[in-house]
């Protein structure tokens, strides 16, 4: 077991374009004194220059998948030179009348180097194993699809 923490800090300030409400901007502190500027998404009066929680969730799923993919590929003797993804999360109404990220689509593009090159079937199997083992994906109710090239 391990414990993972972050620190959230919000202080009341006026909203930059709506005087009847408050700013949604806040800071998230992570390991190594990393500071991330976060706000609500723009649809909910957030700052478009900040990350929003939905983006952070989607990027966490993508990052977790990538880290498992890299580990599995290395274990199988493949050398990954680069990995890029542009994941998308869909905030939609759920069956209970609320909103949630109902699905996340990963679109990884992987470039391999070295003499040992995987075929498409092997790449698909590595993605399937990464998908199965990703801690974050296993923690969310949203469906996660993988469209890889």
Within this chain, do residues 119 and 66 fall inside the same structural domain, yes or no? yes
Q: Among all chains, which residue has been given the structure tokens 């649809």?
A: 43
Residues of the domain holding 39: 7-44
pLDDT at 32: 80
Nearest 5°: CA angle at 50, between 44 and 56? 85
Residue 134's CATH number: 3.30.300.20
Domain assignment present for residue 115? The answer is yes
pTM of the model: 0.92
- 19 contacts 34 by C-beta, under 8 angstroms: no
Q: Looking at the 3D structure of the chain, how many domains does it have?
A: 2
Strand 34-38 to strand 26-30: parallel, antiparallel, or no bridges (unpaired)? antiparallel
* One pLDDT digit (tens) per residue for the chain, 149 residues: 899 999 999 999 989 888 889 999 999 999 988 999 999 999 999 999 999 999 999 999 999 999 999 999 999 999 999 999 999 999 999 888 899 999 999 999 999 999 999 999 999 999 999 999 999 999 999 999 999 86
Question: 79 is written with which tokens?
Answer: 């050398």
Within this chain, do residues 79 and 122 fall inside the same structural domain, yes or no? yes
pLDDT at 16: 86
């Amino acid at each position: 077991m391990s414990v993972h923490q972050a620190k959230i800090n919000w202080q009341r300030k006026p909203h930059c374009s709506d005087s009847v409400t408050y700013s949604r901007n806040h800071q998230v502190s992570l390991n190594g004194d990393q500071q991330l500027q976060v706000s609500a998404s723009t649809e909910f009066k957030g700052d478009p220059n900040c990350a929003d929680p939905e983006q952070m969730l989607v990027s966490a799923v993508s990052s977790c998948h990538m880290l498992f993919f890299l580990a599995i590929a290395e274990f199988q003797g493949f050398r990954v030179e680069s990995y890029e993804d542009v994941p998308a999360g869909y905030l939609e109404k759920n069956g209970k009348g609320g909103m949630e990220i109902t699905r996340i689509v990963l679109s990884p593009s992987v470039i391999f180097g070295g003499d040992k090159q995987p075929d498409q079937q092997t790449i698909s199997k590595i993605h399937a194993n990464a998908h199965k083992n990703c801690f974050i994906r296993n923690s969310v109710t949203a469906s996660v699809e993988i469209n890889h090239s």
